[in-house]
Structure 1
């Protein structure tokens, strides 16, 4: 098994897209990238912990590749917006690919450049590729939110503007 970690705004919206494929063992909501140990949701939401909301994926690369994960990731975010994602604004909602190995760094860099070269977006692709740091699991009520609170999840996605953006840019 390998790990992949992605920040794409609200972690509630980042679990389901990855949680439906063979080869994906787990998708866990959490926090990464900050300077505060054991942050809480409130610490991260205030924006002064330095952490981003992330999902950490445990996967079997012989069944589902890192490149496939990257393809899904890019299609869940606005890679041109470094101020947050959709209705969720602020530092903790910035997009980023956290890489766990040199191989992941190389693949993420190639994937990001391919997206930039595609001409799909008129603005630059600014999503950061960063070394993975300590991962802190988010509170239990954040885990698998789309399963636990399907109506709240659906309403949040609708109001966020995420689905409209994905439809306009990816026909999703």
Structure 2
């Protein structure tokens, strides 16, 4: 029986959620595939059919979350840079448990990679544009990680305004 894409994505999400749960109590290297699959209630075959590494599981989860957010954002018209920045920080606030788990597990680079892939055009032929996008991705990742690592004292709304006013002042109304 052939699995549908929806079923496959659901099983991959179960695997990812299980790995993230385990990461809250154990380092990545100490987590076994057996532990992940048992917690996810899937077979080892399902794991290996979909993933080649535990890092790939986390990358899948981050990509899925960011893709869903981006698709939702595409439906919103006539938005200012500040409003978009606020929604960006609201999104990261909504997944703070995942990001904080990655910080604790010293896997923040996976978030950086996800930002570069999702918010940059890695296939651009313009060298300057490519480096601009990399610079922005590193900067946003650093701001997100610092904000979360220091207790998120500022609201997502405050963070959106800070980033917009500091880095994109010409975008202000």
- Name the TM-score, length of structure 2 as normaliser: 0.31
Q: Which has the higher contact order (CA 8 A, sep 6+)?
A: 1
- Report which of the two has the higher share of helix: 2
Of structures 1 and 2, the larger Rg is shown by 2
